[in-house]
Amino acid sequence: MLTKNIEALILASDEPLSFDKLRTLLEPIESSDVRDALSTLEHHYADRGVQLKQIAGGWQFRTDPSCANIVKQLWQTRPARLSRSMLETLAIIAYQQPTTRAEIESLRGIKVSSSIIGGLLERSWIKVLGRKDVPGRPHLYGTSKQFLADFGLTSLQDLPDSSQLMDTSAIQQEKLNLPYPTQTTEHNHHE
């Protein structure tokens, strides 16, 4: 019965349900029993069209990625494509948070339009965390739980290591259309 109740709660919720929320809803059930029921559900759904996943600090049913081609046929309109500017801005916020618009602009080397910030806020991928204690008191931006859920991340630690991304000097060189610096090694001289 506990497994059935947890399955119903997770299916009915429009956002990932945290372990603590499940415990509160299922009181006086023991934590170990809730963990066992979640494990049972994970195994039950492991090879099905939907899977139980731990996402954004909670549990949620998600379609199996291998079913993406068939599932996308449900939607007749294509989802709005994200511009490179919006993706760059989102990446900077994700890795540098909390950060201000001026700090984002400094890294990108160009002005960040209100429509980019507005679009990210509208999708609930970022949120205002507060204000920076400097003149003008600009907003501090950070990512939200919706960002984690939509990108299939449990936490920010699931983001790729920043060393796998372009470094800030490479970004600046790209903006200036300069060639990337080349390293000369003995190996290169013998080729």
Global confidence as pTM: 0.57
Tokens of 155: 């936490």
Domain membership flag for residue 45:
yes
Give the span between the Cα atoms of 189 and 148, in whole angstroms: 47
| Residue-range definition of the domain harbouring residue 18 | 2-64
Q: Is residue 40 part of a domain?
A: yes
The reported pLDDT for the residue numbered 125 is 95
Query: Tens place of pLDDT for every residue, the chain, 191 residues?
Result: 999 999 999 999 989 999 999 999 998 988 899 999 999 999 999 999 999 999 988 999 999 999 988 888 887 666 667 889 999 999 999 999 999 999 999 999 889 998 999 999 999 999 999 999 999 999 999 999 999 988 888 889 888 887 666 555 555 555 555 444 443 333 343 33
Which residues on adjacent β-strands are paired with residue 134?
A: none
Same domain, 170 and 89: yes
- pLDDT for 10: 95
CATH number (domain holding residue 90) = 1.10.10.10
d(Cα 82, Cα 178) in Å, to the nearest integer? 26
- 116 and 164 share one domain: yes
**Domain co-membership, 15 together with 55:** yes
Same domain, 133 and 170: yes
- Could you give the count of Cα atoms lying within 13 Å of 4 in the half-sphere of its Cβ? 1
**∠ CA 83-88-91, rounded to 5°:** 125
Domains: count for the chain: 2
Tokens of 135: 């003149």
Peptide bond just before 98 cis, omega within 30 deg:
yes
In-domain check, residue 78:
no
In a domain, residue 129? The reply is: yes
Q: Which residue has the tokens 């046929």?
A: 73
The pLDDT assigned to 66 comes to: 92
Q: Are 140 and 98 in contact (CB under 8 A)?
A: yes
Q: Considering the domain boundaries, does residue 188 fall inside one?
A: no
Residue with structure tokens 């497994």? 3
